[in-house]
Structure 1
Amino acid sequence: MVCTGHRLHIIATTVVLLSSLHDVVASNSHLRGPLFSQEPPPLLEYSSASGTTLTCVAQGIPTPDIKWVDLHGKVVTYIPRLRELLTNGSLYIPPFPPEQFTSAIHSAVYRCEASNAMGSIVSRNVKLKPDMSSDYEISTGNSFVLRGNIAVLPCNVPTYSHNLLLIAWLREGVSEARSLIHSGGRYAITTAGALHIRDTSMEDSYIRYYCQTTHKLTGERKISPPSQVMVSEAEGNISPRIEQTTPTSKVKVGSSADLVCVSQASPPATYRWYKNRDGVLTEIRQGGILVRPMESILHFVRPQQTDAGRYVCVASNILGEDRRELELLVETPLRAFMQPLQQVVDVGSAAWFNCTIEGGRETPTVTWLKDSQVISGSSSTNNIFQHNIAALQIPSVTRSDRGMYQCLVTEQEDSAQATGQLMLGAVSPDLQQSFVEQTLNPGLPISLQCVVSGNPPPKISWFLDNTPLSPRSSSGYVIGSHVDPSSEMVISHLNVSSVGVHHGGVYTCIARNILGSVHHSASLNVYGPPTPRSAQNLTVVSGEDLYLRCPVSGHPISSTSWQRGSVLLPLSEKQQVFSNGTLYIKEVDGDSDKGQYSCVARNIQGQSASGYVFLNIMKPPVITPFSFLDNLQQGNRAHVSCSITSGDLPITIVWHKDGKPLPNDPDVQEQQMLFLSTLMFKKLSARHTGLYTCVVSNEASSSNYTAKLVVKVPPTWTVVPKDTVVLYQQSAVIDCQASGNPQPRIYWTRAREEAPNEFIPLDSDSRLLISANGSVVIRSADPLHEGFYSCNAENAIGKVLTKVVTLKVNVPAHFRMRSLNESGLAGQSITLACEADGDSPIRITWNYGDYLTGSQQQTIQSRRTQTGISSHLRLERLSRSHAKAYHCRATNDFGSDDMMIYLSVKEPPDPPEDLTVAELGSRWMRIDWVPSTGQVLHHLVQFRGSQDHWVNITVPGTSNTARLTGLKPSTEYSVRVIAVNDVGPGSASKILDASTMKEAPSEPPTNVLIDNVSYQSIAVHWKPPPVSSWNGDLVGYQIIYRDISNTDTITQTRVKTIQSKHKTDYVLNKLKYYTKYEITVRVFNQIGAGPASSPQFVNTLEGVPEDPPRGIRCNALSSQSLRIRWEPPLASRRNGIIQGYKTFYKSMRLNSKSDFQKTTNLETNLHSLNKYTNYR
């Protein structure tokens, strides 16, 4: 039977074998929850052509399991060829073509989850951003600039791909191959990819520039079309006008940045940069290491939060100035830090987690998680957010609060998380698993088990009918306990390999630790006759209820009777015998209830057995509450007394500190009397702080009372800060830790540079962090960090503990620019400057190729500068052999650096070669040539005829062709080309002789004369045109003539060709009579005919009319007269002017004579004719 609802008061001592329990507990103390050592970034850009891998690594004991979840917490699964889970815990996105893009996979938000037995955590969100632009265009633009000013060539790339592209610039001259441009000298490439060209000259107009991009993920390279700088001369002086700026530049902390300010002016402007510090402009000087003014560019090497602010660019010359205000925004990535990282808290006590937030652009959203689940607002937790610190309070810790806690900090495009672990401290035992009542036959095995949680791990004892069982007893019991490593629960078992009747009874497991106990009871019934067990001696507490079990085994038992002495029980309502044979005595009293009790157990077969219990009743000890004084400090004296006001003697008094027996301490003395114990502290110190428990025991019971002693101790160093030396740009840590009670607050101050004796508070920023343990961490040391630092510890007890240390930053020798382009003129001298910064002494060496400089044509001079050293190499009488790369090395005790100066020597250019006639006309020709090596400003093309002077034509240096115009046809010319650079003209090329093509004559014959020699002939005379107009050899002449006498009709033009250049006259025959002709003469050669001469007009002589009069009519006027009428012949048949008509008439009679009559009219009258006679 199970006895529940009542307290068991059992006084007994037993040794329980916990199987290596202490070893297990020690190993459990090394268990650690998961903690990310590598988690994916908030934003992961990748190329669809290469795919990507999300890596997540977590540490912990035992090793955490890794899985991936989406934004909603759903576990990510394997999808063939789209999303794969690797064995190392990474998430792999294979390459994919753009048409297979799936937003739920390729641009999703993922989180990594790590879990082990101590709890689980999730990473910050990682957003995938694929780049599927397999083809993109890049372009540049030409720059128009006044000579001497700064030209800017942009490199235009798609915005969505800008972060994935590396930008470089190439240049290509007329006579030089395409080469890479290095920042330095006249060239500078901004972080945005624009090319700035300083001190522009006309020579820059002949250079082509190309922007080249390299994809960071795929390595693909692209090159833009060429761009040019159009340099022009200013028309007079011009005051500065700023034309290009970057009003606002956003950059992430640690990434290089540029502010751009470009002006146009004549003379060219001088640039100055200032930082606006609360309305006061502070000039940024040359020579800075991290902030470098470079004329049109203010370059930040690794901008920090302190570099953010407003800057002013001023461009000025003799005519005035122009200025612009620009702003640099430095974005610090979100970071979160959890304090404490791990804490142990007793159940019922309060717990805090503080999440410190750094970086970000706005007030972030903070979400608290426990074991990867969002903690919703409830009475069990409190969320507080103030001054970038989010706090989570658990007012009263319960068992379920154990686990991993996270603060998840999110902004629009960034997120961060920090992790802390809460482990339970002292927890009272709690029964998790137990055994039930069983009935068995003898000979069978049995195993009873109790599983209990608690901290410290509870000790479990076993009892049979209130009698303690020993694991080494001779009754066949095997008892063992162990702690499960994963659950940290104590598992205890009681095993019997072969049960007998004597094993039957009520079994109880009791679990105890320093906070309390828990028990469980259940019956084990073994078939058999009633069998007595040994008599029991029980000591119980006076005034409490008692349940006595008859010490007789066997099953089934039909009845049980109890006696006290010889008196059958119960005697009163205070006593009661239950059906299961248990005797209940209410509120036992030492006078009336102590003594011997006997019981008789019977079965239905009439078998019986007797058992005996000897009951001793005692009063428990009662302790008077005690406490320590407040405000006890180190060095004070103190005492505390534990007094027992009641309880049966003898009494044992034992002191514990922090749950363990009081250790030996020369400054702590204990004095005991009969019912009083006093602890006396001669000289308090920090080690005396703790919980002091007075444990009082007698045979009946034990009780305890605890008081807390707090010894306030002034700060003392546990880690004394030391002077620190660090290399430039390396990390440095200045440790500082102090102990005391209360725990001292550590804070740092720093001496002002201008007032070394004045210290100001030191705060964390993007480059300097004051960690939670008090150490100063400098991520990238800079000379600005040098100085005196003071670590201070205070806790309001005693004086503030202070230690001043120095931080020295050793700066290795280094160059601000690692490459430089220089040029000089042949025959002149040049000085190459090599300026290095760093701690002295700095040594500079020069060399080129395998040779050190040091010839008679070279001199080296060095001088110290404010930040380092400047070395100058002077080269005399430059020649082509000086054109090479000069290597300058600077070395000091802390490092070395190299700089390359690329020197080009300009000479008069070599003559162009291979002049050829590419195209030819009668009055022009195009000449090509192979240009000379070296930079050429322009080419001078000269040509002349046989008797002429040289005619000059200038073509750009970028061109290797020229078109000569204004030439004469069929003329031989001599041509040569001279290359000119900024040194001067070079030698002329070899002369090319070439003749222009022939052309039709350009002038007509002269002195054209015409004479009408007959009525059908015209004589034509002329003289040849000037020889200069022949444009080739003459072949002959052409006479063009046509009838123009009748303007109403169109007459055909006729051409008479004379195949002789020597014949200068000709007679045109078979012409029309009395006809007006237009006649011109032209000369022709093999190409064609030239222009005709001015038209000449002439008539042929008159001839006899070709036709008679027409339409003759005759009318009789009288018997002797006739009237004859007619029409004149056609005009085209008259062949001249008709002077008159003759009318011939004759009688039809025989032998008559003819007669005629003249007239100028178109009729005539014939008179004196014969009457009635026919005439014809």
Structure 2
Amino acid sequence: MVKKTHLFRQGYKIPWTLAIIAAALASAKRPHFTVEPPARVLWPATRGAHALCRATGHPTPDVNWVTADGQILTTIPGLRHVLNDGRLVVGARRSVVDAGGGGSSAILRCKASNKAGTTLSRPMLLQPVEDNVLSHSVRQLTPAKVGGSVVLRCEISPQIGLVDIRWIQDGLTLSTSYIGGDSRWISGAGGFLLGVDLTQADIQAEYSCIALDTPSPIVKLTTDDSSWLENNEINSVEARTGDTVILPCIMRHVNGHTITWQRQEASGVWIAHTPGEGIVKGGALILPNIRPHHALRYACSTGTESSTRLLVRLIVTEPLTVTVTPNPMMLGTGGSGVFNCSVQGGRGGGVTLSWQHEGRPLHAPQSRLSLGPVRSHHAGLYQCTAYDHIDSAVSGAELVIADRPPRLISTFSEAVTRIGQSVVLRCAANGIPPPRILWTLDNRPLPSAPDKYSVNTRAESLPNGEEGAIVSTLSVTIRTADEGGRYGCNATNSGGSHAHHARLNIFGPPNIRYLPPIHVKTNTDVVLNCPYSGYPIKEVIWRREDGSAIDSSLESTEDIGILRLPSVRSTDAGSYTCEVRAESGELARRTVRLEVHKPPKIMPFHFPEELEVGGSTQATCSLVSGDKPILFSWHKDNLPIPSVLKVKEVL
């Protein structure tokens, strides 16, 4: 007999979704930037600008320049060129404005993507400036003499900030370094150049400096002390962590006196300079590889009582850096966690934070990013971007959804006790997410009896180094022999389960708890457990409905009382009786009914390939075979059909 139930749908088009799950290649490697764009690129009115970024990974990543909102930049002939090698070339700003392309500031960054994921570079500010911002000049701060010293400074616009400067002597790059204090030419932060032990060739040479690929006009050194202006005094020098710093002592009429240096400690006390903090050459104090603790006030003098003391403040700035922790963060499905973004350094003030997940912006402007409950699509790279209008930095950390099935790392053994005593059973398990441990008695949940059972579960570190273990203890107060049986602890999480069982034997007569009827489908493996108590027990036997004993081969003593029936058929249905005989001869029996049902089989149904909005259709669920009773239910996308869809079911 065929039974049917119908499903009608009116006024809606029925959508169908095909989900395809693809496994990532084991050899895939997330993109990593080997060259990042600078934090800021100046864009003059009559000149273009350019920047470069490059990334590696496997497979080779696609590298694109994107805007702050994620739009990919493309080439616009004559105005903007995005090259295959990762370079971005922007035409002269005036030409871009005349062409209607806009000439305002913009925040750009690189995006590298492959099958392993997406990584963003730090942001780059494309800042419009006037042409005169890139006009540099060289100023001589002290007169030059053969055998003496000279201090030059490359003066650049404050809008440029701290940049690397290259010095040119007679058209060739001047070798400037600080290696053990042996170099005759030393360049320092703030555009300073110190020359010592000058030769006649040095005096007659021409000098210029280059900043941002722009050279200054050429100058020649002067030896005329009378032309040396008093306004050459330097009040402060700004440098970056790791720079070499030259603090010049610009004093007139030294008359051969030795220049000495002092520094003012945080306490306000002035102490003499020590050789371990740099050297004095040509009257200038040279501090290599400076750190934040060098940011003090320094003073130079000739050492005489009537000498004037000149003060200069050293300002040390640290680069903006970002760190995201933990990295990686491993969570199980449904777990929760927090990424922390810590920011150090910077000189622009007012740091702005933003978060991105696989290159997509997140609405989380705080230093803490809370996640959870997580699912598989939450996995990937989370990046924190910091920007202070002058500098920028980005760092990231991976969220790994690493479901790991539970593993019991500590269990209990079979025990024998008497009425009136108490027993503590203990299980410990780990896994991702942390497992839940449930206790059973003869494969059933423990009865609610606070006077008999007490469960305490906690997380702790075990002596063997197992971290994050969940430890559960079951305290059993023995009031009767019926508290005996096969106790179990079952650790479960989204990745699976792991169970352990052992008997708690209590001296007393045999007894078997109630066994409810069992209903299974054909070809199902059935396990019958005889829930007996009492001790000592001589034997446990299972019998068929006709009274014949069933030969049950035991794999271990833990299998006593367990009957396994593989792939049952209709002929296996019937009554099964468990007999428990004590050493004293006392006998207990309990019968259980096993019902084997043929599962339902449904005829496939189909919807028309094309449906019109506002039309209707129907589907029929036809039962071909199966044992009664049978209940019908309809689902859409594995979920109950919501009432808003106006679906009618007719039996």
Q: Please give the TM-score of this superposition, normalised by the length of structure 1.
A: 0.31
Q: Does 1:365 align with 2:333?
A: no
Report deviation, 1:246: 2.2
Q: Distance in 1 between matches of 2:173 and 2:320?
A: 42
* 1:1044-1094 deviation digits (Å, cap 9, x = unpaired): xxxxxxxxxxxxxxxxxxxxxxxxxxxxxxxxxxxxxxxxxxxxxxxxxxx
1:262–1:423 CA distance, 2 compared to 1 (3 A): same
2:259 aligned residue:
271
2:607 aligned residue:
none
In structure 1, what residue type is equivalent to 2:400? M
1:157–1:227 CA distance, 2 compared to 1 (3 A): farther
1:229 aligned residue:
223
Asked whether the 8 Å contact 1:169–1:209 carries over to 2, the reply is yes
Asked whether the 8 Å contact 2:488–2:501 carries over to 1, the reply is no
Report deviation, 1:271: 1.4
Report deviation, 1:85: 3.2
1:634 aligned residue:
463
1:670–1:157 CA distance, 2 compared to 1 (3 A): closer
Asked whether the 8 Å contact 2:119–2:381 carries over to 1, the reply is yes
Asked whether the 8 Å contact 2:263–2:299 carries over to 1, the reply is yes
Q: Distance in 1 between matches of 2:489 and 2:141?
A: 95
3-state SS in 2 of match to 1:228: coil
Q: Distance in 1 between matches of 2:103 and 2:342?
A: 33
1:244–1:313 CA distance, 2 compared to 1 (3 A): farther
1:1031 aligned residue:
none
Asked whether the 8 Å contact 1:620–1:698 carries over to 2, the reply is no
1:282 aligned residue:
271
Q: Does 1:252 align with 2:240?
A: yes
Q: Distance in 2 between matches of 1:28 and 1:181?
A: 50
1:697–1:258 CA distance, 2 compared to 1 (3 A): farther
Q: Could you list the runs of 5+ residues in structure 2 that have no partner in the other structure?
A: 8-20, 406-434, 437-441, 448-453, 466-470, 507-514, 521-525, 528-651
Q: Does 1:397 align with 2:374?
A: yes
In structure 2, what residue type is equivalent to 1:343? M
Q: Distance in 2 between matches of 1:58 and 1:87?
A: 14
Report deviation, 1:698: 9.8
Q: Distance in 2 between matches of 1:228 and 1:292?
A: 26
Alignment equivalent of 1:406, drawn from 372, 380, 383: 383
In structure 1, what residue type is equivalent to 2:253? A
Asked whether the 8 Å contact 1:69–1:111 carries over to 2, the reply is yes
Report deviation, 1:263: 0.9
In structure 1, what residue type is equivalent to 2:233? T
Report deviation, 1:110: 0.9
Q: Could you list the runs of 5+ residues in structure 1 that have no partner in the other structure?
A: 5-20, 172-177, 234-240, 378-382, 385-389, 427-454, 457-513, 516-618, 664-668, 676-695, 704-1176
Alignment equivalent of 1:100, drawn from 95, 99, 106: 95
Q: Please give the TM-score of this superposition, normalised by the length of structure 2.
A: 0.52
Asked whether the 8 Å contact 1:339–1:354 carries over to 2, the reply is yes
Asked whether the 8 Å contact 1:204–1:229 carries over to 2, the reply is no
Report deviation, 1:411: 0.7
Asked whether the 8 Å contact 2:30–2:117 carries over to 1, the reply is yes
Flag the structure with larger Rg: 1
Report deviation, 1:247: 1.6
In structure 2, what residue type is equivalent to 1:356? S
In structure 2, what residue type is equivalent to 1:57? A
Q: Distance in 1 between matches of 2:322 and 2:175?
A: 42
Q: Does 1:422 align with 2:396?
A: no
Report deviation, 1:107: 6.0
Alignment equivalent of 2:82, drawn from 85, 97, 102: 85
Report deviation, 1:334: 0.9
Q: Does 1:340 align with 2:326?
A: yes
In structure 1, what residue type is equivalent to 2:53? T
In structure 2, what residue type is equivalent to 1:69? V
In structure 2, what residue type is equivalent to 1:352? V
* 1:467-486 deviation digits (Å, cap 9, x = unpaired): xxxxxxxxxxxxxxxxxxxx
1:231–1:415 CA distance, 2 compared to 1 (3 A): closer
Alignment equivalent of 1:323, drawn from 309, 320, 326: 309
* 1:526-563 deviation digits (Å, cap 9, x = unpaired): xxxxxxxxxxxxxxxxxxxxxxxxxxxxxxxxxxxxxx
1:197–1:654 CA distance, 2 compared to 1 (3 A): closer
Report deviation, 1:662: 5.6
In structure 2, what residue type is equivalent to 1:109? I
Asked whether the 8 Å contact 1:147–1:231 carries over to 2, the reply is no
Q: CA RMSD of the aligned region, Å?
A: 5.6
Equivalence map 1:432-581=2 (5 Å): none
Q: Distance in 1 between matches of 2:158 and 2:269?
A: 36
2:444 aligned residue:
621
Alignment equivalent of 2:299, drawn from 298, 307, 312: 312
Q: Does 1:671 align with 2:648?
A: no
Asked whether the 8 Å contact 2:146–2:203 carries over to 1, the reply is no
Report deviation, 1:77: 2.1
* 1:549-592 deviation digits (Å, cap 9, x = unpaired): xxxxxxxxxxxxxxxxxxxxxxxxxxxxxxxxxxxxxxxxxxxx
Q: Does 1:71 align with 2:68?
A: yes
1:79–1:409 CA distance, 2 compared to 1 (3 A): same
Asked whether the 8 Å contact 1:140–1:156 carries over to 2, the reply is yes
Asked whether the 8 Å contact 1:310–1:328 carries over to 2, the reply is yes
1:113–1:279 CA distance, 2 compared to 1 (3 A): same
Q: Distance in 1 between matches of 2:117 and 2:211?
A: 42
1:41 aligned residue:
38
1:279–1:185 CA distance, 2 compared to 1 (3 A): same
In structure 2, what residue type is equivalent to 1:279? G
* 1:224-259 deviation digits (Å, cap 9, x = unpaired): 2544222479xxxxxxx9974322111122222222
Q: Distance in 1 between matches of 2:310 and 2:330?
A: 58
1:148–1:82 CA distance, 2 compared to 1 (3 A): closer
1:128 aligned residue:
126
The one of the two structures with greater contact order (alpha-carbon pairs below 8 A, sep at least 6) is 2
Asked whether the 8 Å contact 1:167–1:193 carries over to 2, the reply is no
3-state SS in 2 of match to 1:264: coil
Q: Distance in 1 between matches of 2:516 and 2:306?
A: 99
In structure 2, what residue type is equivalent to 1:245? E
3-state SS in 2 of match to 1:100: helix
Q: Distance in 2 between matches of 1:81 and 1:179?
A: 33
Asked whether the 8 Å contact 2:149–2:282 carries over to 1, the reply is no
Report deviation, 1:414: 0.9
Alignment equivalent of 1:55, drawn from 43, 53, 56: 53
3-state SS in 1 of match to 2:293: helix
Asked whether the 8 Å contact 1:111–1:126 carries over to 2, the reply is yes
1:778 aligned residue:
none
1:323–1:3 CA distance, 2 compared to 1 (3 A): farther
Equivalence map 1:666-745=2 (5 Å): 671-672=502-503, 699=518
Q: Distance in 2 between matches of 1:36 and 1:181?
A: 31
Asked whether the 8 Å contact 1:244–1:261 carries over to 2, the reply is no
Asked whether the 8 Å contact 1:243–1:262 carries over to 2, the reply is no
Q: Distance in 1 between matches of 2:175 and 2:27?
A: 58
3-state SS in 2 of match to 1:265: coil
1:1113 aligned residue:
none
1:147–1:403 CA distance, 2 compared to 1 (3 A): closer
Q: Distance in 2 between matches of 1:153 and 1:632?
A: 64
Q: Distance in 1 between matches of 2:136 and 2:391?
A: 30
Q: Distance in 1 between matches of 2:326 and 2:146?
A: 64
Report deviation, 1:413: 0.7
Q: Distance in 1 between matches of 2:297 and 2:318?
A: 17
1:167 aligned residue:
167
Asked whether the 8 Å contact 1:122–1:372 carries over to 2, the reply is yes
Asked whether the 8 Å contact 1:83–1:91 carries over to 2, the reply is no
Q: Distance in 1 between matches of 2:5 and 2:113?
A: 40
Asked whether the 8 Å contact 1:651–1:697 carries over to 2, the reply is no
Q: Distance in 1 between matches of 2:368 and 2:279?
A: 42
2:640 aligned residue:
none
1:655–1:37 CA distance, 2 compared to 1 (3 A): farther
Q: Distance in 1 between matches of 2:113 and 2:141?
A: 59
Equivalence map 1:130-145=2 (5 Å): 138=137
3-state SS in 1 of match to 2:238: strand
Q: Distance in 2 between matches of 1:211 and 1:57?
A: 38
Q: Distance in 2 between matches of 1:106 and 1:164?
A: 26
